[in-house]
Amino acid sequence: MVVYFKIYMEIIKNKEFGGERPLFESHDLRLENVVIRAGESAIKECSDIEAINCTFEGNYPFWHVHRFLIDRCYFDVGGRSALWYSDHLKMKDTVIDAPKMFREMSVLDLENVVINDADEVFWRCKDIKIKNLKLHGGTYPFMFSENIEVDGLESDSKYVFQYVKNVVIRNAKITTKDAFWEVENVTIYDSELNGEYLGWHSKNLKLVNCHITGEQPLCYADNLVLENCTFGPDCDRAFEYSTLNAQIKGGITNIKNPTSGLIVADEIGSVTIDKNIKAPADCKIELRNGGEINYERE
């Protein structure tokens, strides 16, 4: 994404602002080493804004802003809900300690950003490009967002990427539970996914060269694809009621009631098939080098 600014911009340096709407409806403005103190809506209904080495302490500073750059800035805890209803943002080398960032936004480009309270960040956003993002704490990052590209992500937030669509993730380490629920058209490459109940009720979820840990992964999934993925020993009751094509590298502890498709692994601890399996109940399960599979039929 490219953010275009006009050549001639008003420049404000080394100043402080506070209170209600101090820079309301500003346009073509560059802020350098500016501090936004306690107050609300400092930069609201604005366009073509650059903020360089600035600190934001007040609530809701960037609402209804079009075309803006945030570079080497800091959002204090008091700067909550700082970026809502805005578009065409480029953010880089920025640290955020405030919760509930990025809501109802479009065309976002983030690079080298750290969010230390990732509670409800990136809700209902679209057209997001991310490089090197760290998320810590909080719940439900990326809820209901779509058209997302991520290269480099570390996250220990809970319930990440629920109800998202059209997502590509590379080089991620995600430690969570209930991640990627109700997603559609999501592909994850070269990543580590740690946590219980991964990818339930997903549609067109594809994992390539990923390592997966946690109980009951990838159940109720429709058109699930795994290529060259590995599983930790705690991954039991995997693929229940899922349709899938899974090529597993190494072993998997337990598979339970897959609906249809193909599962191939080097080792399978056991397969549980019980009376509750759903039709067509014709999933093929194979060991890569042949051999007998231990079926536990109930």
CA distance 129 to 1: 8
Amino acid making up residue 76: D
pLDDT at 234: 96
pLDDT at 72: 98
pLDDT given for residue 76 in this prediction: 96
- Concatenated DSSP letters of 136-153: -S-B-TTTT-EEEEEEEE
Separation between Cα atoms, residue 146 and residue 130, nearest integer Å: 13
The answer to whether 214 touches 230, Cβ cutoff 8 Å, is: no
| Residue 20: count of CB within 10 angstroms of its CB | 11
Residue 2 pLDDT: 46
Predicted structure pTM score? 0.94
How many Cβ atoms are within 10 Å of 228's Cβ, its own excluded?
12
Q: What is the pLDDT of residue 185?
A: 98
Torsion of CA 243, 249, 254, 259, to 10 degrees: 10
The domains of the chain, with CATH numbers, are 8-98 (2.160.20.80)
Residue for token pair 């001639």:
8
Q: How far apart are CA 265 and CA 250, in angstroms?
A: 6
Answer for the pair 231, 212: CB distance below 8 angstroms, yes or no: yes
Of the candidates 6, 3, 42, 58, the residue with the CA atom closest to the CA atom of residue 27: 6
State the pLDDT at residue 6. Answer: 55
- Are 141 and 123 contacting, i.e. CB atoms less than 8 angstroms apart? no
Please report the pLDDT score of residue 204 as a whole number: 98
User: What pLDDT is recorded for position 291?
Assistant: 84
Dist. CA 93–CA 114, nearest whole Å: 8
Query: What is the mean pLDDT, run by run of 10 residues, along the chain of 298 residues?
Result: 60 96 96 96 96 96 97 95 97 97 98 97 98 97 98 97 98 96 98 96 98 97 98 97 98 97 97 94 94 80
